Amino acid sequence: MNKDIATPIKTRQILEKYGFSFKKSLGQNFLIDTNILRNIVHHAQVTEESGAIEIGPGIGALTEQLAKLCKKVVAFEIDQRLLPILADTLSDYDNVKVIHEDILKADVAGVIEEEFAGKVRDLHVVANLPYYVTTPIIMKLLEEKLPLSGITVMLQKEVADRMAAKPGSKEYGSLSIAVQYYTEASVAMIVPKTVFVPQPNVDSAVIHLAIREKPAVDVIDESFFFMVTRASFAQRRKTILNNLSSQLPEGKSKKEIILKSLEESGIEPGRRGETLSLEEFAVLSNHLLPHFRQSNE
């Protein structure tokens, strides 16, 4: 197949050939701009020695660009109707494997061990993610501490902005902290809705998450640290003292302890969660942990 998949004409031909109709429930929006796909691959920093995991390959537009450059590509596709299409569009590439599985239920670590271990120099996730499951997918990849160098994905611009947000901005929240705890996040490019079929309602962005060798801050208990950060943003207009008192287990009865922990951490109790840095949240959660250990276990 000489022509790139990701052109409006080629995409339409493939869809018509297979009588394919888009499923809104699967968030299917296919890219029809080859330059943007090449740019995504460029931002992913993959080489001919790299392995790539793709999620939701669709009709293979991004898969094709990855296969041209990477040593091996494994793509997870949930929609059975796309399997024969992918077998056709990617028939020229013997370095691609398509797995019919929901990435959220998949044993990704097991697949990496089987498909990539000892065969590639580094491993990247590169994908145009379905909007409705963007955050759960990224958090699964990060929390499972997979041997990845980076994650480069297209998602809703608003979500990308939240993942890369800095303290003090209105986008900054518990998602920013969770992502930046594990990675260095940067928005690589903005993608207009006009380059998709069907067109989504919002613009997209490509975010590049470079996996940190170790988390950004030292915390004694990761799950408690994330519990504290989520609690701190529960109601954005409330102070951190009021949010923690109302959201942490037995927080109301431990308000004095929370106040003392804030003071010991050098954090003014009247501040709001969005003004605290990752470092401040780490210090605070480490101070609070001994007083909430039972309720956290």
Q: Per the annotation, where are the binding residues?
A: 29, 31, 56, 77, 102, 128
**Residues of the binding site for S-adenosyl-L-methionine:** 29, 31, 56, 77, 102, 128
CA 102 to chain centre: 15
Query: Is 192 in contact with 203 (CB distance < 8 Å)?
Result: yes
Instruction: Tell me the CB-side half-sphere exposure of residue 210, using CA atoms within 13 A.
Output: 9
Both tokens of 179, joined, read 């992502």
**Burial class of residue 167, CB neighbours in 10 A (0-12, 13-18, 19+):** middle
DSSP-derived letter for residue 276 is -
Supply 86's token pair.
């992918």
- 206: how many CB neighbours lie within 10 A of its CB? 23
Q: How far apart are CA 258 and CA 292, in angstroms?
A: 10
Tokens matching residue 169: 């901005």
Q: Are 56 and 74 in contact (CB under 8 A)?
A: no
